[in-house]
Chains A and B, each alone.
Chain A
Amino acid sequence: MASTVFRSFQTHPFVFHPTTLLRRKNVLLYCTMRSQQTQTATQEKVKPQVKVSNLNPNKKLENISKDYEAVIGIETHVQLSTQTKAFCSCPYNYGSQPNTSICPICMGLPGALPILNFKVIESAVKVGLALNCKLAMNSKFDRKQYFYADLPKGYQISQFDVPIATGGYIDLDIPVEFGGGHRKFGITRVHMEEDAGKLMHSDDGSYSQESTFRFVDLNRAGVPLLEIVSEPDMRNGIEAAEYAAEIQRVVRYLGVSNGNMQEGSLRCDVNVSIRPIGQLQFGTKVEIKNLNAFSAVSRAIDYEISRQVLLHSQGQDKEIVQETRLWDEGAQKTVTMRKKEGLSDYRYFPEPDLPGVFLTQDYVDGIHNSLPELPEMKRRRYEKMGLSMQDILFLANDMNVAEFFDTTIKKGADAKLAANWIMSDFAAYMKNEELSINEVKLSPQELAELIAFIKDGTISGKIGKQILFELLAKGGTVKGLIEEKDLVQIVDPAEIEKMVEKVLSENPKQLDQYRGGKTKLQGYFAGQIMKLSKGKANPGLLNKILLEKLNAKS
């Protein structure tokens, strides 16, 4: 099954133009993901309309859906970010000139023998432990035979009956906007294998049906992958997308992969079947490929569920066949790629060119002790700090954001205040400028400082905001900026009183109106005084003194 996985993906990463990839790379993940998921959420609500209109307008579908349960399992391929390939020393860099990183081993030339990159084992053990799996202390590699131009040897080195890790689980939290809640999904297995090359339909990556040729780039052949297979525990598109997003977070936190879906470093194939509620037997399983974003995972599954439910409810369940379907992003639907005719015969056997993989408890313990704090642990820790789930998910989503936040609070900042600052103007700035948190000039130290200055009343919140943008763009220190621009908050009542009196005397008409009962004008006065103070007047004091003055002579 897994071999077919590669084939379809080779043809599709090219749908995206390389420049779009580069641009997207700099955008923080949560920005893109959130917006995508919002779309999904909207679509959820108008479910029958959007999805069913493609098949057959049927307003009853939502009701019918209640009688069915979807069963979803996901196979995720994670490309490891090692310097070299799995079994040879060829360097791998995404986007290199085609066929430049090749050698007799990854080209499958006669007589060449593979030697395992130990980093592959290290990564597999890390992921296995992070996913709470049982590790096979003794495992091995197997040959999976199939013929395709992207696979020069005629077989893929993979793991078959003894995967390195089995029987784990992953914890995640569903975002509040999708109903919230904690989920635990089972992990069936994690195994190591090599990637295949890329097969293109033509030079420029466009699809031309007429061409009788295909173009092969073998740079990726032999690059190490981990295949992570989930239990069929998910029930809808959101759960599946959140599962995939959590896998991405885990591999990024562990530093074993960049997890970029657009580059194909993280590929998801989902299996979807439906069954009437109460039925124990699983329905016919359909596999969906070409899912290049979490939003696509979510929408493709929900579309597929609707399609199957509709067919089943119309007595056409024979039309649901075991097949591989592709997600068509443009048309927002799944289309048949190929029907499965019997089970593939991969004729697995143990790879004779490689020794077994034997782990010692010491080795495993060493890795276990060096694991970083994982997303789930972070979320639970943030929860104990009293942060809201929305804050928690935002901060823990990106390891660098979480680290920034952690450092900020280590410098003494209040957790809730720090979270607010990072999530509001700070996040908006990064999104607009397409910068990652490591690229902004503001340091956690300075953010903590800023928060402290606001808290002790040295500067107002409004001035704080100005300083924040200044620091984000140009760097520098909060102290330096406050001194340089004379931004210290005015807390001297006498000074504020002077300003209040000045504004009141300059606006006699409004003062009369206020005293005539138009008390809403207080806001107007406050604004004028704040303006006069260049935003530096302490708002509490300002309002207190203003009220006293306004009501004094009435």
Chain B
Amino acid sequence: MDFSSFFRPETVAVIGVSYSSDQHPANVIFSKNLLRYPARIFPVNPKGGELLGQEVFSSISKIPEAIDLAVIAVRADLVPLIISECIKAGVKGAIVISGGFAEVGRHDLQDALIKAASKDNFPVIGPNCLGSFCPGFIDTFFLPSERVVQPPSGNVAIISQSGGILVDLLVKFADEGIGISSAISIGNKALIREIQLLEHFSHDPETDVIAFYIEGFKENEGRHFVKKAALCPKPVVVIKSGKTEQGSRAVSSHTASLAGDYKVFEGVCKQHGIFVAQDEFELVNYCEALSCYSESSGRKIGVVSASGGHGALSVDACTHHGLEVPVLSETLQKELKEVLSENVKSIASIGNPIDLTGSAKEYDFVQTVEILSGSDEIDCILLLILPYVPGISSDLGARVSLIYRKFGKPLVAYVPHVDKYRMLIEGFELNKVPVSSSIEGAVLMAKAIGTKRNA
């Protein structure tokens, strides 16, 4: 199946626009795409007429152009018929925004939708979903643009069963400066499910990381999903709800009692090289790190900071997450000492964690990162920046990021995320070096980069 019409449509029909409510999902989708996206948009309502100065077509078949994508927001009972009309009109795919199907017990309507679409192998996302958001191309979320926070265009694809979780994740992605290629809410996933989208994005040249919010799989579907993910050359990150099991029924074997659904999910994902994020915080940090470095490096971390406390806390977090902070060799320590500023040399600790102290100059950070970048003793540098230290400037982010470009040694940074330090943060972000707003987040990034995949 070709899914390009969902993510890069040139022509879009919005079926079900209202004349009485600007806030009707179809109207919001129509107006945002009309005003802010490149696709040609055609509103549809049986009454015809005009909306925002555009001609409203009385049916999909009346639109004079070939339609790539139909966005359907009509009453649930009308959807199967509309799907048939779309197929007849040669539409390439449809997103069904409407709710009122299996989620409210109307399995008959959902079955009718499936029947209408599968006869011609017609791709449908939904029902009961937000559809797709691809920065610069299409946005079928029925949320007014001024209300949402949108991440920039980038290389992470997110697929979510829940629309609410998806929009919330996008807020967090935007906050961390993580760019997305596509975000898709699949709702009831009556036809297109996680597995087909995994397949699609594993071939999508604009996507380097594929993230999922999963509630559950159909019988044996999980087995196929993880096998496909293991073969996917791109990192796959998942977050799953349902950690706590309610009303655990009496089980007759110890294994059945120990092997709860989430525990099985976690073990099986690990086995197949899938990153399992325990919460949104982990998901965001994994995605940011993997969007910058898709090759896995290793678990030996070199910690650089201007504060002993930051070094100590990050060593604790590294150990907790199975990372090593090895003591540097005498030779490497000597090499480091030689390049540091005179006043720093005598007070810095350079065994690893490296504490350059509050007297450190920008020069000391650059030199330290450069020397560590050239060493085999560590696999990744964790740079904890305290922007209030007088010796450093806002240029530091960009300067050390360029060292990564030169040596290829992965670097992750911690900088407090407040507006005052924005230029420093962007110095990293714009140069594709992941930067977290917390020490714990930066350590999770290092963990993601250091985890071997598809063993």
Check if A and B associate. no
- Identify the B interface with A (CB < 8 A): none
- Identify the A interface with B (CB < 8 A): none
